[in-house]
Amino acid sequence: MLDRIQACLPSLAPAEQRVARLVLLDPRSFASLPVSELARRSHVSKPTVVRFCRSVGYDGLSDFKLKLAGTVSEGVPFIHRSVDVDDKVGDVLVKVIDNTLAAFLKYRNDASIHAIEKVVDALLATYHNRGRIEFFGAGNSGIVAQDAQHKFFRLGINAIAYSDGHMQVMSASLLRPGDCLVIVSNSGRTRDLIDAAEIARQHGATVIVITASGSPLAQAGHMHLAADHPEGYDRYSPMTSRLMHLMVIDVVATCLALRIGGVKLQPMLQEMKNNLRSKRYA
């Protein structure tokens, strides 16, 4: 996060540069001080402090301070390290876990709360209108789509997942206004998924994509949840992207469940749990 601010420094307005230098000088204090004190120390107005936060890619001061606090308290101590052919079991264990932690912490610090809120709002509207929520993915992302369908149908949502390209095109053709299509893709370049997104949009459905920034699929949806991570493909490597996508789905599903409300969900979930008891040994 601090590296990003340093890189953005030359492109900022002079007043915003003063705020940036205050962050770089003492990030821990910046994360805890009120906006009036930040403005005073930077010799700028309070709106300038907020504009600075948005200029460097955050949704506002609260979002910026939340991410900054996480960065200075825990940091992101791990970098991506490729798994080598001659690695021992201990090396693989450390690298796989470190790579996953690095991806998760980076997402936590970079994620747009505003984008997540927009996605939850769209899914909630579909839920209230009794519309369909469909999840598409291919390969590893197809497994994520199936996991998403499992999470959402437990909330009483009319959800389904497809990983077959022909089924995706056919199902997208049946979507209508008020429905939601959520597409998950690591590369954001799978032809079937991009075709399905375009078909769904033509039929008036809301298209949400979870994929890499700057990819063709990222431009094909109405809403984009960025899932960017350092992952090598030239050597043996675990699919960190799959775990990140699962985490993003977990965040969205949890937010949606909270918006639906426990009064409505808890009795249904409790009944489901009671009915499953006969499936287990005591």
| pLDDT tens digits, 158-169 | 999 999 999 999
Same domain, 37 and 125: no
Same domain, 127 and 59: no
Q: What is the CATH number of the domain that holds 262?
A: 3.40.50.10490
pLDDT, position 73: 60
The range of the structural domain enclosing residue 27 comes to 2-74
Q: Average the pLDDT over each of 50-54, 60-64, 102-106 and give the range with the smallest value.
A: 102-106
Same domain, 247 and 138: yes
Q: End of a domain among 74, 104, 129?
A: 74
Same domain, 37 and 120: no
Task: Compute how many other C-beta atoms are within 10 angstroms of the C-beta atom of residue 32.
Answer: 12
The reply to whether 61 falls in a domain is yes
For the chain, the domain total comes to: 2
Provide mean pLDDT across the span 145-157. Answer: 94
Provide mean pLDDT across the span 146-153. Answer: 95
Tokens 């970079």, located at residue: 110
17 band by pLDDT with thresholds 50, 70 and 90? very high
- Edge to edge, what strands does the sheet with 223-226 contain? 159-162, 133-136, 180-184, 206-211, 223-226
The reply to whether 100 falls in a domain is no
The reply to whether 103 falls in a domain is no
pLDDT, position 238: 54
Same domain, 123 and 249: yes
The reply to whether 85 falls in a domain is no
Q: End of a domain among 74, 99, 128?
A: 74
Same domain, 144 and 228: yes
Provide mean pLDDT across the span 97-104. Answer: 82
pLDDT, position 218: 94
Q: What is the mean pLDDT of the chain?
A: 88
Contact between 52 and 19 under an 8 Å Cβ cutoff? The reply is yes
Same domain, 170 and 257: yes
Same domain, 261 and 176: yes
Provide mean pLDDT across the span 59-75. Answer: 77
Q: How far apart are alpha carbons 173 and 165 in whole angstroms?
A: 12
Largest interatomic CA distance in the chain? 68
101 band by pLDDT with thresholds 50, 70 and 90? confident
Q: What is the CA radius of gyration of the chain?
A: 21
The reply to whether 68 falls in a domain is yes
To the nearest whole percent, how much of the chain has pLDDT over 90? Answer: 56
pLDDT, position 239: 72
The reply to whether 96 falls in a domain is no
pLDDT, position 67: 82
Same domain, 183 and 255: yes
Provide mean pLDDT across the span 150-175. Answer: 95
226 band by pLDDT with thresholds 50, 70 and 90? very high
Q: How far apart are alpha carbons 265 and 271 in whole angstroms?
A: 10
Helix, strand, or coil here: 211?
strand
Same domain, 153 and 253: yes
Q: End of a domain among 19, 52, 74?
A: 74
141 band by pLDDT with thresholds 50, 70 and 90? very high
Q: What is the CATH number of the domain that holds 19?
A: 1.10.10.10
The reply to whether 194 falls in a domain is yes
Same domain, 121 and 259: yes
Provide mean pLDDT across the span 64-76. Answer: 71
Question: In this predicted model, what pLDDT tens digit does every residue of 202-224 receive, in sequence order?
Answer: 999 999 999 998 899 999 999 99
pTM: 0.73
What burial letters (b/e) apply to 93-116, b meaning 16+ CB within 10 Å?
eebbeebbebbbbbbbbebeeeeb
Same domain, 142 and 218: yes
pLDDT at residue 233 above 60? no
Question: In this predicted model, what pLDDT tens digit does every residue of 126-138 receive, in sequence order?
Answer: 999 999 999 999 9
Residues 180, 193, 116, CA angle at the centre, nearest 5°?
A: 45
The reply to whether 124 falls in a domain is yes
pLDDT at residue 42 above 60? yes
C-alpha distances (whole Å) from 268 to each of 81, 155, 265, 278 are 44, 8, 5, 17
Helices (DSSP H) in the chain: which residue ranges? 2-8, 14-25, 27-32, 35-42, 46-55, 61-74, 89-110, 113-128, 140-153, 165-174, 191-202, 216-220, 240-260, 262-276
Q: Average the pLDDT over each of 34-43, 54-63, 113-122 and give the range with the smallest value.
A: 54-63
